[in-house]
Amino acid sequence: MKHELFEILQFGIYSASILLILIGLYAALTKRSLIKIVIGLSIIDAGIHLLLVAIGYINMGTAPIFSPGYEDAAATMVDPVPQALVLTAIVIGFAVTAVALSLVIRLYRHHHTLEIDEIKNLKW
Partner 1 sequence: MVGTPVLLIAIPLLAAFLIPLLGMLWKELVRIIPGIVLAYMMILSASLLYYVLENGPIIEVLGGWSPPMGINLVFSPLTGFLTTIMTFLGFIVWLYSYRFKRNVDFEPAKKYFIFLMMLVAGAVGIVLTGDIFNQFVFIEIVGISAYALTAFYTGRNSAEASFKYLLMGSLSASALLIAIAIVYSQLGTLNMAEIASKVHLMDPTFKVIAMIFFIVGIGIEAEMFPLNGWAPDAYTEAPGPIGAAFAGILVKAGIYAMVRMIFTLFDVPGAVDFLLAIGLVTLIIAETAAVKQDRLKRMLAYSSIGQMGLVMVAFGIGTLEGVYAALFLMLNHAIIKPLLFLSGSYLVFNSKDKYINEVNGLGKYLPITSVLFSLGAFAIVGLPPFAGFWSKLSILMAAANEGMLLIIALILMVSVVEIVYYFRVVNRIYFFEKSKDVIPHRPRFNALLSMIVLGVIILVIGFYPDSVTGIIHKASEDLMNTEQYINNVLSVGKSLTK
Contact in structure between 51 and 18 (CB atoms under 8 Å):
yes
Cα–Cα distance for residue pair 58/40, rounded to 1 Å: 30
Which residue's CB is nearer to partner 1, number 68 or number 124?
124
State the number of binding residues for partner 1 (CB under 8 A).
34
- What angle is formed at CA 19 by the lines to CA 16 and CA 20, rounded to 5 degrees? 85
Contact in structure between 69 and 56 (CB atoms under 8 Å):
no
Question: Alpha helix locations (H) across 31-79?
Answer: 34-56
Which residue's CB is nearer to partner 1, number 69 or number 80?
80
Cα–Cα distance for residue pair 49/44, rounded to 1 Å: 9
Q: Which of 92, 113, 115, 118 binds partner 1 (CB under 8 A)?
A: 92
Binding mask 49-88 for partner 1 (x = CB under 8 A): --xx--x-----------------------x-xx--x--x
Asked if 23 is part of the footprint of partner 1 (rule: CB under 8 A), the reply reads: no
Cβ partners under 8 Å of residue 60, min gap 6? 1, 76
Asked if 37 is part of the footprint of partner 1 (rule: CB under 8 A), the reply reads: yes
Asked if 34 is part of the footprint of partner 1 (rule: CB under 8 A), the reply reads: yes
Instruction: Note the residues at the interface with partner 1 (CB under 8 A).
Output: 21, 25, 28, 34, 37, 41, 44-45, 48, 51-52, 55, 79, 81-82, 85, 88-89, 92, 95-96, 99-100, 103-104, 106-107, 110, 119-124
